[in-house]
Amino acid sequence: MKNNMIYLETHSLDPYYNLAFEEYILKHKMEGDYLLLWQNENTVVIGQNQIAEAEVDLHFIQEYDIKIVRRTTGGGAVYHDKGNLNYSFITDVKEMEELTMDQFARPVVEALCGLGLDAAVSGRNDILINGSKVSGTAQRIYKNRILFHGTLLFDVNEEMVAGALRADPLKFQGRYAKSVRSRIANIRGFLDEDMGIEQFWNYLKDQIGKNGVMEKGVLTPGEQEAIFTLRNGKYVTKEWNFRHMQQFDFSNKKKWHGGILEARVAVEKEKIKQVVFYGDFLSKTSLDETERALVGRNYVPLDVRNILNRYDLEKFFGTITMQEVLDTIFMV
């Protein structure tokens, strides 16, 4: 990213509005570098390819009036409250092959290290302090722009995290499996000198902008109205957050190095009638294009491979490979 950056706040705790705000900036501010810092009230935010009912305890979130909303990036479900601070970087895409989590997470890691914390990027999309997860990240490509965003667990209610999220058992296979609650930690607990969330917010903003000019951006009334329209027409709807689950002939779920991938396939007369992919893999764009391309094709590995070969699969499935996609679809 460039040194000069435009800084925006949503001035809202409404998760539906905040995600609409983020999408609007991504799709309508096509020049310049943007930093957004924002918070949600008690909310579970699920990845674009996840099944809401499989990721959350619906009885728990209803009891505690926790909202649920789907974002447009991949990855897993996360819990937000006012002890969590979210950050979003929006900038130009350079070379696709050079896009790495590290280049976008580095300013956040450096800010945490500036507080005397042992912070580092780890795994597919996490930032850790002393081995505990304090941030999960995801990204999305839109035309020549990229959105990279993440959470920062500063002083989150860990009991609510454990109660609201229903972790997939596939995530915790092996000797070193841990519960969701035991894998995460709050940044505040690691600080030698205590600070509140507002002080941390201001510190993070100042540290990210310290090497350049940070200009505070302002949206027009028309832009704000457009964000509300997107909120009400998309993010608040059941159609977006709870997708219709029809019956499929075949369903298979596997855990790969790049994440959990589930394929559900409806077949008619040996041809694919519909295919839908779910999971917490780190896609950078919607899978709609690949799912549509497979409709009407023979339900055989060679035909599916030939179709998928037309696409840059890393954009759709992250680091999950072609063979792993095929093995999931055909239950190998």
State the DSSP string of 169-192. Answer: GGGG-STT---HHHHB--GGGG-S
Q: Give residue-wise pLDDT tens across range 8-32.
A: 999 999 999 999 999 999 999 999 9
Q: What is the pLDDT of residue 209?
A: 86
Give the chain's largest Cα–Cα span: 67
* Residue range(s) of every CATH 3.30.930.10 domain in the chain: 5-241
- pTM as predicted: 0.90
Q: Average pLDDT of 285-292?
A: 95
Contact residues for 63 (Cβ-Cβ < 8 A; gap 6+) = none
- In this prediction, residue 177 has a pLDDT band, given cuts at 50, 70 and 90, of very low
Got the DSSP string for 195-241?
Answer: --HHHHHHHHHHHHTTTS-EEEP---HHHHHHHHHHIIIIIT-HHHH
Beta partners for 69? 45
Amino acid in position 134: V
Question: What CATH homologous superfamily does 5-241 map to?
Answer: Bira Bifunctional Protein; Domain 2 (3.30.930.10)
On the question of pLDDT at 46 being above 90, the answer is: yes
Res 87 pLDDT > 70: yes
- Taking Cα atoms as reference points, which of 157, 159, 152 lies closest to residue 115? 152
Q: Tell me how far apart the alpha carbons of residues 233 and 43 are, in angstroms, rounded to a whole number.
A: 19
On the question of pLDDT at 196 being above 50, the answer is yes
- CATH 1.10.3720.10 assigned to 250-329: no
Location of each CATH 3.30.390.50 domain in the chain? 250-329
Q: How confident is the model at residue 214, as a pLDDT?
A: 85
* Res. 174: pLDDT tops 60: no
